Amino acid sequence: MSCTGFLHGSTLGFSRMGLMPEIIRWRNIKAPTFDESDVALMTNAAPGIHGMTEDRHVFTNAIEHGTTWDTSPISSEVKAVLDKYDSKAEELKTKYENEIEKRDEFREFGWILTDHCTDGYDGKQHSISTYF
């Protein structure tokens, strides 16, 4: 589930890339304007850039927004594992975020590099459920 969550969280940057005019025009590179097919393509890709659901990230240890997660039935040993990996994931994402912001290519390609930053950075997260 976590591996698919990493992949799923990366679809936001990929979808944003697909909506860039430089990419959309590849469909019909010689056309001087966008046509109905281009608009249909953009319309179908646009839902893929629709934000995130707070607390529903890979290795979450609690859901406190929207429909909350009652963790009282979870044993303390299992809760400790959830807490441990939520903390480790947050630490790795924060470290990565601090590193990429210093890169020369961040200004140009930050929209895709931020797929793996802390939850909410650029409206993205490693998500168990991104779409509404």
Neighbours of 15 (CB within 10 A): 16
Mean pLDDT estimate for the chain: 80
pLDDT at 88 over 90: yes
* pLDDT (0 to 100) of residue 83: 92
User: Model confidence at 67, in pLDDT bands (50, 70, 90)?
Assistant: confident
- Over residues 11-37, the mean pLDDT reads 80
Q: How far apart, in whole angstroms, are the C-alpha atoms of residue 2 and residue 92?
A: 15
* pLDDT (0 to 100) of residue 50: 63
Residue 83, phi then psi, degrees to nearest 5: -60, -45
pLDDT at 131 over 70: no
Six-digit token pair at 50? 């629709």
Q: How far apart, in whole angstroms, are the C-alpha atoms of residue 107 and residue 41?
A: 27
The torsion region of residue 98 among left (phi > 0), alpha (psi -120 to 50) and beta comes to alpha
* pLDDT (0 to 100) of residue 130: 47
Higher pLDDT, 83 or 13: 83
pLDDT at 6 over 50: yes
CB 112 within 8 Å of CB 18 = no
Q: How far apart, in whole angstroms, are the C-alpha atoms of residue 18 and residue 51?
A: 16
pLDDT at 1 over 80: no
Q: SS3 breakdown of the chain: % helix, strand, coil, rounded to 5? A: 60, 0, 40
> pTM of the entire structure?
0.65
